[in-house]
Every structure is written in structure tokens, then in C-alpha cells.
Amino acid sequence: MSPLTTVLLSLLLLGFAASSNCPDGWVHFGTSCYHFSHDTESMPVADLVCQHLDGHLVEIESSEENTYLASKAAALKASFWTGLSDMQQESVWLWYDSGRHLTSTSFQHWFPNEPNNAGMDENCAYISSGSWNDAPCHLALHYICEKDDGSSEIVG
């Protein structure tokens, strides 16, 4: 093997190692690691499980992230809790972990005519087929945990 081939192969392997900072059972996309649950839980319990795994319920911030998560969810043929809810105040949607508001300028991808709070009891959001829907928080659904992949450098 030539010295140039050895150097290129080493750089490629280092690139793989650097891009896979996620623990076993987690997948990497962007600067996050994601865990797609195999079990089902209510949304509040799902959040506790994610915290136990040193993460939080997923916060979807872009169409690229939504597309990635939707493709994984479709492959697993399941609906998944996100970290979005309006439990504190009806129609004021907040990301559960960060407390950030879902605003008209935030990325969002609701099914048509959603959220609709059907039955006056739909305060948590899940992703299914790439779109979001509100549902009762006590339903047992799969869930997606998210955590930083550790590649972000803090300066200061």
C-alpha cells in the first residue's frame, strides 16, 4: 500500500470515528444522537426514560431533521412521541425540555387541520408519516430521545 493510500485510509477511518460519537443503540444525524424506542410509554414517562438515558424527547428544528426522523419512523412502522406539548396552556406549544415556544416562524409540520385538541384532551405531539399530530399524553406510543453528539465545541 502506498504512503498516500495509507494516509487517506487513516483520515477516512478518523472521520468515521469522529462522526460516530453516539452510544450504542443511538443513531447520528447532524449534531445530535437519536434513540428510537422499541417500547411504548406515555409522553411524560417517555421523557423520564430519555432523561435516564442522558437525553430528552426530540425537539425537531428543521425540515431536514424532520425528514430524517420521518424516514426512520417509517422504516420502523411506528408513531413516535416528540417533546412538544401544550400542557401548560392550551394552544401554546412548547418543547418540553428547552421550554422554547413553537412560533409561526419555527419549523413545524402538522397534519392538515392539526393540532385540533379533539376531545379537549390532546396536549402532546407525535410524528407519524413525516407529519405531526396532537394526542392525549397518556397514550402509549414509541418515542425518540435526542442528545448532543458531543462534537460541538464550547468557546469562552
Query: Would you list the domain boundaries of the chain?
Result: 28-148
What is the predicted pLDDT for the residue at 104? 86
Nearest to 28 by CA among 46, 40, 16: 16
CB atoms within 10 A of CB 78: 18
- Distance, in Å, from the CA atom of 67 to the CA atom of 27, rounded to the nearest integer, reads 15
- Distance, in Å, from the CA atom of 145 to the CA atom of 156, rounded to the nearest integer, reads 28
Instruction: Give the mean pLDDT of 87-91.
Output: 94
Binned at pLDDT 50, 70 and 90, residue 155 comes out as low
The pLDDT tens digits for 95-130 are: 989 999 999 889 999 999 999 999 999 999 999 999
CATH 3.10.100.10 fits 28-148, yes or no: yes
Grid cell in block for residue 4 = 498516500
Binned at pLDDT 50, 70 and 90, residue 2 comes out as low
The pLDDT tens digits for 37-59 are: 999 999 999 999 999 999 999 99
What is the predicted pLDDT for the residue at 151? 78
Instruction: Give the mean pLDDT of 29-40.
Output: 97
pTM of the model: 0.84
Helix (H, G, I), strand (E, B) or coil at 83: strand
The pLDDT tens digits for 130-150 are: 999 999 999 999 999 999 998
pLDDT at 7 over 50: no
Binned at pLDDT 50, 70 and 90, residue 13 comes out as very low
What is the predicted pLDDT for the residue at 4? 42
150: phi then psi, degrees, rounded to nearest 5: 85, 5
